[in-house]
Amino acid sequence: MSTTDIAQSGDTSHDGGHGDEGHEHPSDAKYIQIAAILGVLTALEVSTYFVNIGPVLIPTLMVMMGVKFFLVAAWFMHLRFDSSLFTKFFVGGLVLATGVYMIALTAFEFWTKG
């Protein structure tokens, strides 16, 4: 069977993995909803500059960072619809980066200003 025959028959199993694997893509309204949530989270992060929330500043920012990372990776990078192996790699990277960041903050004595 030639590639022309495959293309004419509508068989997408030989298209190099670029075909639709059968999952529904989110609607435009869902993307707009996620973008609005990301906008609100970003506004909350920026507002921490103007409002003194004391010693919970870094944990609060880290939680918001994690939520934003998850939303972007899950929806805009379509990680939610891919293999769970990809999710494990992304979460592993996030955990590693957060750990290195916390170690760097500790090394520079960021936690004990004063």
Residue type, 28: D
Q: pLDDT for 48-72, tens place per residue? A: 999 988 888 888 998 998 899 888 8
pLDDT at 22: 58
**What is the residue-averaged pLDDT of the chain?**
78
Contacts (Cβ under 8 Å, ≥6 apart) of 79: 73, 86, 87, 90
Higher-pLDDT residue of 102, 1: 102
Two structure tokens written together for 50:
């103007």
The confidence score (pLDDT) of residue 46 equals 95
Tell me the per-residue pLDDT of 33-47, one tens digit each, with 9 for 90 and over: 999 999 999 999 999
Q: Please choose, from the candidates 72, 49, 73, 71, the residue with its C-alpha nearest in 3D space to the C-alpha of residue 60.
A: 49
pTM, entire model: 0.62
Q: Which amino acid makes up residue 43?
A: A
